[in-house]
Amino acid sequence: MKIGKRITTLILIATMSFVGVGCSSANGEEKSARVIRVAHGQNEDHPQHKALLEFEKYVEEKTNGELDVQIFPNELLGATSQAVELCQTGAIDLVVASLGNLEAFEDSYTVLNLPYIMDSKEHYHEVMNDEEIMGPIYESTRESGFIGLTWFDAGIRNIYTTKKVINTPDDLKGLKIRVQTSPTNVKMLQALGASATPMSFGEVYTGLQQSVIDGAENNELALVNNKHGEVAKNYSYNMHAMLPDLLIVNARLLDELTPDQSQAIVDGAKLANEFEVEAWEEAAAEAKAKAEEMGVNFYYPDIKPFQEKMKDLHAEYTQDPDMKAIFDKIRAKGDEILARNEKKEHSKESSETGVN
Ligand code: GCU
């Protein structure tokens, strides 16, 4: 973040701290509400913003207005990495951050960030809903000042470019592809032969327009909500990552609030998760249709050659025993789902043919 922008952000936050609306306590006395600041990088049409509005409504109702939730979309309080830093200090209470951004704060997020670690949407969702896998990961950043509360679907990430169509990894040779500020994403694009260019989400449109980069990688919503499809007309479903966003909270907040207020935040986050996951598929399909109207072409390359290139990266990241333990749990779940689906398929066939 530029220094000027950073100062503006800090002034904005400092001013906001004094803006609490009045609410009545049990004995009828007027007292000012505790402001809960939530920052994210999407615009107001995005399912995550809509889910956060549900969170706001729930928390304010449940606490009879003792908590006043204020949502700041569009990276208004700074690019996501800076917003996470402000969440560590408590200047922002909650932030929606991509796993790519969180990787800089804790290694265990790195494993979830590995390309092609998830087999399918079913696998990805089951991992994210698995307390045993995600609980320790959410807690792992407590000492750094924040913890994970819940997750939001951010679809499947694919590569899109302004000029060249990507059908094989070879097509990426020499292209400058924007990635999140994540070492894993940088290594992934390098393994594919591209020149990885880390940059904040808010700078990607201009980067594409001014040919600072030749492409980027993201879900379909970026084409429309962030207008990347105005400039990048070739979107290839190489399916390298199913990467959620996490709603993180300042680690001290839940202890500072009353038990009822903390519970309202935890339950409100769960509600927002359910709302967003439910809304995602339709939003992605709508974005794809709108992108087609904008002239974006969608391609479906064979993903195997892309997967092959990731073997070394998987081997490198599983050398650390802690990361390997998470990796193995995620892969075991993938295999379990595969076996379950095969069994289902088998019993369906048997009931159709009458043969066991
Ligand atoms: C998606 C994701 C964001 C992320 C962005 C990016 O929009 O939902 O959390 O910041 O991609 O590529 O930076």
* Rounded CA separation 156/138 (Å): 22
User: Residue 32, SS3?
Assistant: strand
* Rounded CA separation 254/264 (Å): 10
Please name the residues in contact with 338: beta carbons below 8 A apart, sequence gap of 6 or more. 119
Per-residue pLDDT of the chain (356 residues; tens, 9 = 90+): 444 555 555 555 555 544 455 555 556 666 799 999 999 999 999 999 999 999 999 999 999 999 999 999 999 999 999 999 999 999 999 999 999 899 988 888 899 999 999 999 999 999 999 999 999 999 999 999 999 999 999 999 999 999 999 999 999 999 999 999 999 999 999 999 999 999 999 999 999 999 999 999 999 999 999 999 999 999 999 999 999 999 999 999 999 999 999 999 999 999 999 999 999 999 999 999 999 999 999 999 999 999 999 999 999 999 999 999 999 999 999 999 999 999 888 887 777 777 65
Chain-centre distance of CA 269, in angstroms?
A: 15
The pick from 153, 245, 280 for probing ligand 1's pocket by mutation, whose C-beta has the most ligand atoms within 8 angstroms, reads 245
User: Residue 231, SS3?
Assistant: coil
User: Residue 161, SS3?
Assistant: strand
90 CA from centroid of ligand 1 (Å): 22
Q: Which residues line ligand 1 (CB under 6 A)?
A: 41, 80, 98, 154, 180, 201, 218, 222, 245
* Rounded CA separation 171/159 (Å): 11
The closest-lying atom of ligand 1 relative to the alpha carbon of residue 96 is 9
